[in-house]
Chains A and B, each alone.
Chain A
Amino acid sequence: MHQDIKTFSDITAIDTNDRLAVELTITCHGRTEQNIQLNGIDIVAPYTRVLFDLFSAIDLNINLLGFDEGTSGVEVALNINGLEVLPKYQHLSSNKKCYIDTLGIWSMQIPANFYAWYHKITGQGWVA
């Protein structure tokens, strides 16, 4: 957070590039094979931190290509600017879970902009 915001014009001057720090943690349980893309970027590491524009939408896709039925799967954790998104709001993902144990594409999509979305999904009340 800026500590020198004295007037609204200081807010307008904020550089909105690289303002969403997205932290993605992938934990594979058992044998799994998958392709992971975060806003079109291929992800291979268990932990990834990527910076996006403040007004970026977030589009996380995991294509599970192989696993052992009943014994393996992929667990996803997602934090944005320090705010927990997954597993807390896993009911908003495509399978309503943050654990993937079905072949095919699992997705978590957050429309722009993040903070307005977060206000809404946390039930903070109407925007007058």
Chain B
Amino acid sequence: MLQDTFCSSPWFHLRLTYDGTFESCRWSNAPTVGINVCDTTVMQYYNSTEMRQLRTDMLNGVTVAGCSNCHYEDSFGKLSGRSRQLNKSAVALDNFDLTVRSSPHYDRFLYSAEHDGAADYYPTDLQIDLGNVCNSACIMCSPESSSLLTQDYKKLYKINPKQFANPKSYTSWTRDPVLLDRVVSEIAAIPNLKYIHFLGGETLYDPAFYAICERLIAAGVAKNIIVGTTTNGTLYDARIEQLITQFQEFHLGISIETVTHLNDYVRYPGNITDIKDNIEHFLALRDNSKLYVSLRITPNVFTISEIDLMFEYMIKHRVIAESCNILHNPRWLRIELLPNDIRQDTILRLRALIDRYALEKHDTKNIRRSDLIASVIADTVIDYYNLLQDYSTLPDSDELGTKLVGFLKAFESLRNNSILDYAPRYQNFLRHYGY
């Protein structure tokens, strides 16, 4: 059915990745065709063969391979990227045909249907990846996104080349001042641009982030644009306080997996005490109505066991968690590997949390509304409660368990730490796979 596969994202969104390669979607897991911003403008990519084919596939009801992560989340009733993008087109999955027909974007869909996938509008929702300059080396991250992890992977490749690829070196497109200037000029000229999300590396650590923001302010377009970015929470840069005032809105996502020192192991070498201090510092800035703060969680096989503590923290501090990504890679960190005893215990603790706070499902789609924080938190808790009850174990669990142990031991040989100091409940599970 079309409602199971269709997404409106290709009509208003695209992504510019770390090395300048364009991608059709921030949630896509498909390999790109390699069109690069070095020799292609943003608008040329927007109407490129790749984007036109994607729109045509969407219109023809094709199940697009790159959308599998969203489809997986849809299967649990979790708020997927697809749901969020459809919502931006005023399309409701529970009334799909009539809301598509009534969508303010209907004429754009129709134009593409009649013009071989071409679009007659503009991208209004951009994701821009600045590069991999980062002060964190999170175990689930990739060298393309972290300079610190790149150094680790060069060593890990020598230890275990089967599990750790030799990181490819690349230069971020933002390091070329002429190219940066050209791209920012193109972006500033896009009519009706509504949202730009910047990703690093660590954006608050990257001079390109401030340079682009300042250029948009100087061009006089910032007041019409919502800027979002994701930070690892290890830094507090006072320049943010000024930027918040210049844009229409400023959405800050802070990546955190749990509120205990297990976060330090996963998001190495962070310190959860410092991160919580910074989070609370940012939260205090919410009095400025232009700032919206959320936590960004991507639970893995370890941190999922403490997710009730994360939710308690969110309720206490009135801050939502955006989690429209179930961790897929590396596969050996997926929550579906969770040992059954810990899974059942986590379900019970989430049930107790739901009962204690009398949480009810609201199915909120517009999750960045300051007046709906309590509803969004309730939805997130219940979504994870349902996910933990419903997911199926992976068919290659045993193989993945062994890979997980090899993965952790390799990292720990560099970091001189042990997962059991942070998650002792996993001892039997890890020992079973040779830890």
Query: By the criterion CB–CB under 8 Å, are B98 and A7 in contact?
Result: no
Tell me if B189 is interfacial: C-beta within 8 Å of chain A: no
CA distance A113 to B106 in the complex (A): 12
* Alpha-carbon distance between A23 and B268 when the two chains are bound, in angstroms: 59
Residues of A within 8 A of B92 (CB): 115, 119
| Residue total for A at the interface (Cβ-Cβ under 8 A) | 29
Cross-chain pair count, CB within 8 angstroms? 94
Binds A, one of B25-33, B83-91, B339-347: B83-91
Does A9 lie at the interface of the complex (its beta carbon under 8 Å from any beta carbon of B)?
yes
Do the beta carbons of B195 and A125 come within 8 Å of each other?
Answer: no
Candidates A1, A3, A8, A115; contact of B90 at CB < 8 Å: A115
A3, A8, A19: the one contacting B98 at CB < 8 Å is A19
Smallest distance from the beta carbon of B55 to chain A beta carbons, Å? Answer: 10
B161 at the interface (CB under 8 A from A): no
Which of A8, A14, A16, A127 is the one whose CB lies under 8 Å from B89?
A127
Task: Tell me if A125 and B365 are in contact (CB < 8 A).
Answer: yes
> Contact check: which of B3, B12, B124, B369 meets A5 at CB < 8 Å?
B3
Q: Does chain A have a CB within 8 A of B194?
A: yes
Contact of A125 among B96, B99, B100, B366 (CB under 8 A): B366
Identify which of B1, B2, B366 gathers the most chain A CB atoms within 10 Å of its CB.
B2
CB-contact partner of A54 in B60, B98, B195, under 8 A: B98
Tell whether, in the assembled complex, residue B13 and residue A116 are in contact, meaning their CB atoms are under 8 Å apart: no
Interface residue B102 (Cβ < 8 Å from any Cβ of A): yes
A16 to B97, CA, bound (A): 11
Known pairs A54-B101, A81-B98; A7 contacts B13 (CB<8 A)? no
| New A-B pairs, 20, CB < 8 Å, besides A1-B96, A115-B99, A128-B89 | A5-B1, A5-B3, A6-B1, A7-B2, A8-B60, A8-B113, A54-B101, A54-B102, A81-B95, A115-B102, A115-B103, A116-B103, A116-B104, A119-B92, A123-B372, A125-B88, A125-B366, A127-B103, A127-B104, A128-B124
Of the A-B pairs whose beta carbons lie under 8 Å apart in the complex, a sample of 17, sorted by A's number, is: A1-B95, A1-B96, A1-B97, A1-B98, A3-B1, A6-B1, A7-B61, A11-B2, A11-B100, A14-B97, A14-B101, A81-B95, A81-B98, A115-B102, A116-B90, A125-B87, A128-B12
